[in-house]
Amino acid sequence: MDNRQAIGSWLSGPRAAAEEMGADFGYRGERLGLPQEGPGSIAPLGRRFGALFLDWTLCVVIAYGLIAPGDWNSAGNWAVVVLFVLSVLTVGTIGSTPGKRLLGLRVISVEGERLGLGRVVIRSLLLCLAIPALIWDRDGRGLHDRLARAVQVRG
């Protein structure tokens, strides 16, 4: 093995190195019984970040306009509360936030059903803490989704 191959495997990460050695991890969502592509498959990471960006922007605008007019610093803090309420109300009722709806995503339980109120509250609270949402498993689910036994799928 020359140095370029060693550097390439180091940059690609342990999964790529294991796949080169013959390990088969399958596709994202296979362990959960989800299809590989199309409706019901694991939502792509880019769309999930895009939906979160849209939701966060909406929450900041709501907080600035209704709760803390004229004070951007305070509006940013209140936006976290608005995000929590928005997430609980929309994911708990229709299965997606406005950003997720615009980008064709929804949140379901790993059993394929709508999330119950308790799971939605846990998921939303962990999402507002941010750190759990940044830790993923091999199916691409954040820790907030794993603990709530939820998965984000294409609509």
Which residue type sits at 153? V
Q: What's the predicted TM-score (pTM) here? A: 0.80
| pLDDT confidence of residue 23 | 66
| pLDDT confidence of residue 87 | 97
| pLDDT confidence of residue 31 | 86
Tens place of pLDDT for every residue, the chain, 155 residues? 445 555 555 566 666 666 677 666 778 888 888 898 999 999 998 999 999 999 999 999 999 999 999 888 899 899 999 999 999 999 999 999 999 999 999 999 999 999 999 999 999 999 999 877 788 888 888 889 999 999 999 98
